[in-house]
Structure 1
Amino acid sequence: MVPSILMSRNDGLGARLIPLLSALRLAQSTGATLRVHWPSQDQRANVSHYHGLFAPEFCARYFITDAEARTRRLRIIPANRFQKLTPQQFIDQADPEADYFIEETTGPATLSGEDPAEVARQYRAAMSMISFTPKIRQMMDQIDAAFAGRQVTAYHIRHGDVTSSYRARGKAWPNKYVPPEIYLEHMRQSGTGPDRPALLISDTPASIDWLAARQPGTLRLPDLIRLEGLDSLQFDFLELYAMSRASLIVAPEMSGFSRVAAAIGAVPIEDVGQSLTDPAMGQAMTALQQRLEQDAGSFLNDGEIAQATVHLRRWLDKQGEAAELSDLLDRQLDQGNTVPLMYRMRAEDAYRAGDIAALAETGRQARDAMIPLPHVLSEIDTMRALLHLGAGQTGPATILLRRALYQWPLHAFSSAAVRNWQLAPPSPEPFYPFEPLVLDLVSLSRGEPQKRVDMRSLIWEIRHFLANTFRGPLTAAGADADLRDRVLAVEAQDDIRGTPAERALKSFRSQIEMEGPDPESALAMSREMADDAPIAENRWAAQRFALNLLQMRKYQRARFWFARLAEAFPDEPVYAGYLAGTIMRDGENEIALEQFQRVNPPGKLRYLVFVPRQIQLLDRLKRDDEADALYDQLLEETGWAETHLTGRVRRALRSGRPFPHMPRLTRLADEAGPHRAAGALVAQLLHRDGHIDEARRRAQAALDGGGVPIGDMQGVQAVLGLTPENKEGPAPE
């Protein structure tokens, strides 16, 4: 039977085309069936409008829906497992029931023994297998004609997404964003001019304008061909195709856009950040530092200032002048730059210096600024936890690490922090309940101190105690199937079979398989493991079964098992929290409140996941002031996380109670832009309080920017007079 290749990628055009061409090449050379999953749920992203790029017959032949892709997820075999096969072995041994998954963006995916030159040729040829719309095909021909006989260097300048995208503003992207000063020095070093033209390709016209004003001999694509009536995706593709016709591409190190252009055109590619001589880089950094200090308004936005600062930071570190950067960071924060990356860099400076007090102050400032990216707050808390662990202070470290993992458990510091916490003396503060044995078995450390904690394995254990279940990163690219196979391999070992370790592994595996196509079978296996021994000796299997029951919404049975766990392990507060939730469903409100207060005593929030349900219970009991105070505590603990802030505003709208944090919410709406929920929330509150014109302005901006959550759509439409106002207010969180 014919094997199946599945290609999927959920980011920009260049990063999608690289694995698409790989998948087309491998399908052609092995006879496999190709299926393409092209995620397009977010209609604001230009890649969702692919029908204007690809011909209908191409889409009909290869593309599958999101629903079909979900059903295939557990059949995925990742590339790193089948690329060890030769092409003939793949044809002979491939499982026709599996999907061989390709998402790699570093270059063509290859099988063992393939000739690199032949792979490159086939990869270029795969471009001819894509059918484009007639309009795009015609413009590709015009580009071919425009470049015929010309030697043009193409510069790819990637500035837009990594400086202005909401989520990108919390991370350093030195291999994606490169300051204009470096591009300018590269052009001067290369002799760019009227006789050696440079084609500037960018997602930010202002960056092209800045360079063109300072360097003769620059061109834009419209200088070569007429581009009219194109949507954003079509224009991006034609820029990519034009780059593939250049004689040289100069680009950031991490640019799928540039790499695919270089591959399909057999064009050499040069890393702009690594191509300068030391004197030229020194000139670029001197000019960049001067602009940051004297002309910060010339940058695109605060996000570009942050990314430019990353480059300057690296340079000053090399020169032994890092103190100058600390002063620059302090000035930027004092001037109101609230890009999360700025706080993260300032925190890392304090962490490197071992300064617990300065790191704590940066964390306080970051929370006060309401920076809307939980992973940055999590990283700062984790750095603080590491310093406390280094000082032997396990109590404060546990509190910080518990809060950090709740918000975002997957980042650069989390694995080391959990490992150090495991090796530290016992903490007086409770952590999240997990079975260390399973982590040891899955990582094959067998009781030895782990050099690196497998954070994904840990998250499978504790995800129901966190801000969300992190299903996306846990299952992306077949990661869940890969982990399940690793667990099965350990289960099958002779020294594991028939021991309590086998029970632990099967119970752990049930949590992974609950996300698969047959959760009932996974639930049955987890029950078998939970019943295998008395609960006092079998805590972890019982815990997993209770959580699996909750995931399947079998609330009565979950209540029974959480009650058993709470009774058997009274020092573990999280069982009381989930027991409270199930009791609350039965209407036994006062009993439920007692259990909630066991997990989060008054004035002490230990497990934030239970707080929203406790607030709902207080509302049900008409204890509004207590609910308000608890919500405000939750906002402070989570750094005004958008999920909880949204719930707090909706509650105020629903109940008619005042919202005392309007200045902070307005500031967040102004900083986050129209793409986030804050603008829609501000609009509804302003409308309720009689500020009609301002409310309508903000509501329209939120609607135009796509930043209106489903639960607020009716309220925003009412502000704009598009529907009759819902007197009951928005739906509860």
Structure 2
Amino acid sequence: MTPADLQGSIISHRNDRMGGRMIAMLNALRITRDYDLPFFVGWTTGGRTSEEMRDPTAIFDADWVAQHFFDGDVLGEVYDDLIDLSTLTQHTGWTPEKFRAAIAQGSSFLSGAAMGVTVLPWENPQEVAARLPLAVESIRFSAPVRAMIERIDSIFAGTKLTAYHIRRGDIIYDPITSNKLWPNKFIPREFYEQHLGRTLADPDARVLIFSDTPVEVERLRKVDPRVQGFDDLLGDNDLTPGARDFLELFAMSRCKHIYGPPSSAFSQTAMTIGGCSLQAVEDALSPEDRAAAMDRMTDRLEARSTLFINMGDVGQCLHFLIERQKELGDPARARRIIRAYMDDGLDKSFAYQLLCELSVATGDLAACEDIRDLAYARPSYSDDSMATVNTYSALHHLAQGNTDTALDRLHASFWFRPLENVVHGAVNLGLTADIVTPDNFYPFDPAMTRQKGNVFPQGRRALAELNTIAPKGYDPEDRSDFHMWDIVVRDWRLTCGKKLNRAFTNKSKIAKSLDMLERAFSKLEGSPALTSARGVLLFAAGDADEALECQRRAIAAAPDTPLYRKRISDVLFSQGADKTALFQLRKASNLMGWHPTYQAELGWRLWRMKERDESWEIYNRLAVADHRFIEVHLMTSDMIRRDPDRLEEALAVLERGLKPAHGAQRLLAAKARLLMMLERVEEGRAVYEQLVDCGLGTEHTHVEIYRQFSALGREDIARELTARSIYDFDMVKEMAGG
């Protein structure tokens, strides 16, 4: 299947597990049925895809898959141009006529919502919700799944089973997924225990437990013979992981009532298919029962109960621990419990976040510096945790008036997580206090700054509390400076360096950002600042000609503004007008004065245009320059290592970047490669082991490991390291050309 085959269609895609993929598919099918449109599924199977999702033919008919499904390679070619159905609103003028016209012109729409009913702006929500379950009729299932569906319908006919859905799995086991907090998907077992006691008070009650972690099913089955698992009803079936996962979802849909997490695509999709009732188990508890469950969980945490499966299990309970202790007015108890676990080895990234939040809640912002020290003293290889501890440390130093240290921390947090709202809030406080400027940070347009009451998100109490923090000499009640840092990330993608999620490049999402920009800065209408900023988003959305015109108008109005010339050079380079683009970039760099980001960008462009001598001059100067830009250190090190006589110097430059970027995967991989080039093999191997054992080794990391060690005749080391990862050695070897 090619991108051309997909034009004028509705495309379903979710790169997650069964519930999210199924609801995205059902919403897409509903729309294609209603409007007689082509239907396709972008079904990713590579990378970190869970085992049950790797083979769609285990769930669906093979011919149907061949007709409608395509893989991640094709998806990557079309994704940015897909119009996300969630961006269709009356505000943006979408009507049935506009929708059909877009389809007729070849535009395709993305159904990617993980939960709920997708309703187009002109549709009746109640009518759509009633039709959505009928979309299942359009799915052709594999023969084993069809047979089991019939059996389930037969077994469940006339029953009134109550289902409990206990989500665990990757949330507590996967090294990446378990590093995030999932309070809307992970619910402590004590809530289920408490609710189950009430359910079983009815002598006619029968309960079916669904969980991706068998031990949770076994524990509740022991409570009462009326509590059963999927296998108790259907026997020990020889099902593939994918088929079993879907059939559990289908069986859940045949229950009368479902109690589970408040935000699980799995149980939400089961409800949608079956029309049964679904309630969050926590909401179904009385205040007294909820308090009893929380107190039992707290006591178990403090006593280090063996009921907790692992540190991932412990970690996910900590959100609820904090919630309860704040209710009781004793957040210090939560802080003590969490710190004790961290001292005992818990290093989940959100644990640092929670400790920082509790430090704020207990009026001890200074403790965030100690938490940062803890993170930097251990192999905590998580961008989230590093961004968090640097952000809170920055807030502490801003409040104390320690400007240099605050700026160090802001640079680190912005590099680790350049799109994070809490990071942007801290940078805005630095901007308010004139600590962050275009000269010492990523260059930005000061004219695109406005006043805002709260610069931290209000949706979460812990983050809203940060609005009570102000730089030294400022009143928290005063309005703060606000800048749209997303635009800065677009300007400096090369020297920000981070790989960002697909939503950042999806054109319909960018159109939404453009609308927000124009509304937020409407007072600047017609100004070169807003004109140039619009050009940045238009360029990101693929409208290079209009973006070029925006930058030309901005430069005509403000010819000495370096950023506008840098932006026009970006557009010109993309159009192949390299010489004119280079002229504009040189002009921008000269107008700015010496700045690491302009210099690194200019050096990078010069190298690719074969202007090697001038490029070397720039990177030689960057190699000895004192600056805070982590990515520029990495770029400079990568350049210098091209000279075999300067490998030690390249390593020294890289170490300057690694100091603030503790545990960063890309920098560590570069360090390991340099150590191997220096024939410091055991040191290089040790760094690779750190990457692998912390779950940060990508496919490309293992390809590099294979190449490095097989060149030394030690393929056995490469095999052993890959065996400690999620990757297949033979696949890695093939990728490496071995």
TM-score, structure 2 normalization: 0.84
- What is the SS of the residue equivalent to 2:10? strand
Q: 1:606 aligns with which of 628, 647, 664?
A: 628
1:53 is matched with which residue?
59
Q: Following the alignment from structure 2 to structure 1, what is the Cα–Cα distance between the partners of residues 347 and 516?
A: 42
Partners of 1:402 and 1:235 in 2: CA distance: 47
In the alignment, which residue of structure 1 is the partner of 2:468? Answer: none
**Which of 490, 494, 512 in structure 2 is aligned with 1:464?**
494
Verify: 1:617 aligned to 2:639, yes or no: yes
Structure 1 alignment gaps of length 5 or more: 718-722, 724-733
Q: Give, as a single letter, the amino acid of the residue that structure 2 aligns with 1:616.
A: D
Q: 1:90 to 1:590 in 2, by over 3 A?
A: closer
Of the three residues 80, 90, 114, the one matched with 1:73 is 80
Query: In structure 2, do the counterparts of structure 1 residues 322 and 683 end up closer, same or farther at CA, with 3 Å as the change threshold?
Result: farther
**CA distance in structure 1 between the aligned counterparts of 2:671 and 2:275, rounded to whole angstroms:** 55
Q: How does 1:699-714 map to 2 (within 5 A)?
A: 699-702=722-725, 705-706=726-727, 713=733
Residues 594/355 of structure 1: CA separation in 2 closer, same or farther (3 Å cut): farther
- Is the CA contact 2:186–2:316 (under 8 Å) kept in the aligned structure 1? yes
Task: Give the 3-state SS of the residue equivalent to 1:273 in structure 2.
Answer: helix
**C-alpha distance in structure 2 between counterparts of 1:600 and 1:397, whole Å:** 24
CA shift, 1:414, in A, is 2.2
Contact 2:514 2:534 in 1 (8 A): no
Corresponding residue for residue 36 of structure 1: 41
Q: 1:38 to 1:677 in 2, by over 3 A?
A: closer
Residue of structure 2 in register with 1:153 after alignment: 162
Mapped contact 1:366–1:377 kept (Cα < 8 A):
yes
* Map of 1:398 onto structure 2: 407
Output the CA distance in 2 between the equivalents of 1:233 and 1:439: 50
**TM superposition shift of 1:122:** 0.7
Question: 2: distance between equivalents of 1:43 and 1:337?
Answer: 23
Match of 2:474 in 1: none
Match of 1:175 among 184, 190, 201: 184
Q: How many residues align?
A: 703
One-letter code aligned to 2:58: G
SS of the residue corresponding to residue 127 of structure 2 reads: helix
Alignment of 1:633-712 (within 5 A): 633-658=656-681, 660=683, 666=689, 669-672=692-695, 696-702=719-725, 705-706=726-727
Deviation for aligned residue 1:144: 0.7
Distance in 2 between residues matched to 1:67 and 1:716, nearest whole Å:
19
**Is residue 683–residue 698 contact of structure 1 (8 Å, CA) maintained in 2?**
no
CA contact (8 A) 2:411 2:441 kept: yes
Work out whether residues 442 and 488 of structure 2, in 8 Å CA contact, stay in contact via their aligned partners in 1: no
User: C-alpha root-mean-square deviation of aligned residues, in Å?
Assistant: 3.9
Distance in 1, matches of 2:528 and 2:95, equals 42
Query: How far has the Cα of 1:404 moved from its partner?
Result: 1.1
1:708 and 1:677, CA in 2 relative to 1: closer, same or farther beyond 3 A? farther
Residue equivalent to 2:469: none
Quick one: distance in 2 between partners of 1:8 and 1:532?
44
d(CA) in 1 for partners of 2:83, 2:605:
36
Change (3 A) 1:691 1:325: farther
- Find out whether 1:508 has 2:527 as its counterpart: no
Alignment of 1:241 with 2:250, yes or no, is yes
Percent identity, aligned pairs only, is 23
Partner of 1:96: 104
From 432, 439, 443, give the equivalent of 1:433. Answer: 443
Question: Alpha-carbon deviation of 1:40?
Answer: 3.2
Displacement of 1:271: 0.5
- Does the aligned pair in 2 maintain the 1:680–1:699 contact within 8 Å? no
Counterpart residue type for residue 78 of structure 2: T
Other structure's SS at 1:366 match: helix
Go from structure 1 to structure 2 and tell me whether the alpha carbon gap of 1:43 and 1:581 turns closer, same or farther (over 3 Å shift).
closer
Which amino acid is 1:303 matched to? G
In the TM superposition, 1:332-371 aligns within 5 A as 332-353=341-362, 355-371=364-380
For 1:472 and 1:559, the matched residues in 2 are separated by 29
**Is the contact made by 1:329 and 1:346 (CA closer than 8 Å) also made in structure 2?**
yes
Q: Tell me: CA distance 1:708–1:370, structure 2 relative to 1, closer, same or farther (3 Å).
A: farther
> Residues 584 and 63 of structure 1: is their aligned pair in 2 closer, same or farther, counting only changes over 3 Å?
closer
Contact 1:3–1:94, Cα closer than 8 Å, also in 2:
yes
Partner deviation per Cα, 1:287-307 (whole Å, 9 max, x = no partner): 323332334554222111110
Helix, strand or coil at the partner of 2:285: coil
Sort the Cα spacing of 1:182 and 1:306 in 2 relative to 1 into closer, same or farther, 3 A: same
Flag the 1:431–1:96 CA change in 2: closer, same or farther, 3 A.
same
Which of 3, 10, 15 is the equivalent residue of 1:10?
Answer: 15
Q: Distance in 1 between the 2:244 and 2:513 partners?
A: 40
- Select between 681-690 and 455-464 the one with higher mean Cα deviation: 681-690
2:695 corresponds to which letter in structure 1?
A: A
Change over 3 Å in CA distance of 1:361–1:154 after alignment to 2:
same
Pick closer, same or farther for the CA change 1:478–1:570 going to 2, 3 Å: same
Secondary structure of 2:659 counterpart: helix
Distance 1:681 1:153, change over 3 A: farther
**Cα distance change on mapping 1:430 and 1:298 into 2, 3 Å:** same
1:470 deviates by: 2.4
Q: Secondary structure at the match of 1:274?
A: helix
Deviation at 1:51, TM superposition (A): 2.1
Structure 1 contact 394–424 (Cα < 8 Å) conserved? no
Determine if contact 2:349/2:384 at 8 Å carries over to the other structure. no
500-509 or 416-425, which deviates more: 500-509
Q: Which residue of 2 aligns with 1:720?
A: none
CA displacement 1:561-606 (0-9 Å, x = unmatched):
433223222153321222233455578778645534655645x441
- CA gap of 1:439–1:76, structure 2 versus 1, over 3 A, is farther
2 CA distance for matches of 1:673 and 1:601? 30
CA distance in 2, matches of 1:696, 1:25: 47
Distance apart, 1:215 and its partner CA = 4.7
- Paired with 2:547 and 2:214, the residues of 1 have a C-alpha distance of 54
Q: d(CA) in 2 for partners of 1:477 and 1:244? A: 36
| Residue 189 of structure 1, CA deviation | 1.9
Gaps of 5+ in 2: 1-6, 456-477
When residues 142 and 451 of structure 1 are mapped into structure 2, their CA distance, relative to the original with a 3 A threshold, is: farther
Q: Deviations over 1:42-88 (max 9, x none)?
A: 37433232122122443355445556543363351543424678986
Say if 1:659 and 1:408 are closer, same or farther in 2 by CA, change over 3 A: farther
Cα contact 2:672–2:688 (8 A) shared by 1: no
CA contact (8 A) 1:245 1:265 kept: yes
The answer to whether 1:372 aligns with 2:378 is: no
> Alignment partner of 1:237: what SS?
helix
Cα 1:247–1:218, aligned 2, differ >3 Å: closer, same or farther? same
Alpha-carbon separation, structure 1, partners of 2:13 and 2:226: 40
Conservation of the 8 A alpha-carbon contact between 2:82 and 2:507? no
Distance apart, 1:253 and its partner CA? 0.3
Assess if the C-alpha contact under 8 Å between 1:193 and 1:215 holds in 2: no
Q: Distance in 2 between matches of 1:274 and 1:347?
A: 28
